[in-house]
Amino acid sequence: MGRRRVGLKSIAVVILLTVSGVGLADVSGMLKLCAGCHGEDGRGMTAEMPIIAGQPAVAQEDAMFAYADGDRTCGDVPMMCKSAERLTEDQIIELAAHFAAMPWAAAGEEFDAALAEAGKTIHDRDCAICHVADAAGDGDFPILHGQRKDYLRHTLQQYAAGERTQLPVMEKKISALASEDIEALVNYYASYRN
């Protein structure tokens, strides 16, 4: 999607890591750090964690670059952004490929059927053009179906409040939503089962 940013900051990180003798491709130590929150299986240790196992690599890379650049904040979990800041571009690509190679499996959380139906209507109208008809991702766009409810709700609220960088087209759609619409979408995405 051409949104990869290799600025002065990344170059400074490369120099720092090279000087301290950390191999660029050595991500095994990093994986331990990631697993502390995301789990070895990439499905998250708590309900607030996004599932990253099976999430397209491009979407994960974009997220990591956004955390590292401060375009996306980490709220109550600053360690996530700090982890991203410490990584080189190569390491980000390698870690994203690692988790993307795992199978996606829906969280299978409870949902309200009426809200889910309303959410499907909104998704098909406003979101399917990018996130595809069943929100299963298409290689570049993140998978939403079966993602954890708490994470989705928090994320959509952040987008709606303009607190997280997003594509202008998506911003237009999300800023037009009422809070009931967000809850409907969250329940729709939660309704997926593997």
Taking residues 18 to 57 in sequence order and writing x for each that binds ligand HEC by CB under 6 A, - otherwise, the string is ------------x--xx-xxx----------xx-x--x--
Which amino acid is present at 29?
Answer: G
94 binding ligand HEC? (CB under 6 A): no
Which token pair is 179?
């809070």
Identify which of residues 75 and 162 has a Cβ nearer to ligand HEC in the complex: 75
- CB count within 10 Å of CB 149 equals 18
How far is Cα 59 from Cα 166, in angstroms, rounded to an integer? Answer: 12
- Read off φ and ψ for residue 116, nearest 5 degrees: -60, -40
Interaction pattern, residues 118-137, with ligand HEC; x per rule: CB under 6 A: --------xx-xxx------
Cα(57)–Cα(63) distance, integer angstroms? 10
Min dist CB 84 to ligand HEC, Å, is: 7
Q: Which is nearer to ligand HEC, 18 or 121 (CB)?
A: 121
Closest contact distance (angstroms) between CB of 96 and ligand HEC is: 7
Q: What is d(CA 78, CA 86) in angstroms, rounded to the nearest whole number?
A: 13
For residues 83 and 85, what is the distance between their CA atoms, to the nearest angstrom? Answer: 5
Q: Which is nearer to ligand HEC, 28 or 113 (CB)?
A: 28
Q: What are phi and psi of 45, to 5 degrees?
A: -90, -20
| Cβ atoms of 60 and 139 closer than 8 Å | no
**Choice from 43, 72, 149, 153 touching ligand HEC (CB under 6 A):** 72
Rounded Cα distance between 152 and 168, Å, is 19
| Span near ligand HEC by CB under 6 A; candidates 5-13, 18-26, 78-86, 102-110 | 78-86
Q: Residues in the site for ligand HEC, rule: CB under 6 A?
A: 30, 33-34, 36-38, 49-50, 52, 55, 59-60, 62-64, 72, 74-75, 77, 79-80, 83, 95, 126-127, 129-131, 141-142, 144, 152, 155-156, 166-167, 169-170, 173-174, 185
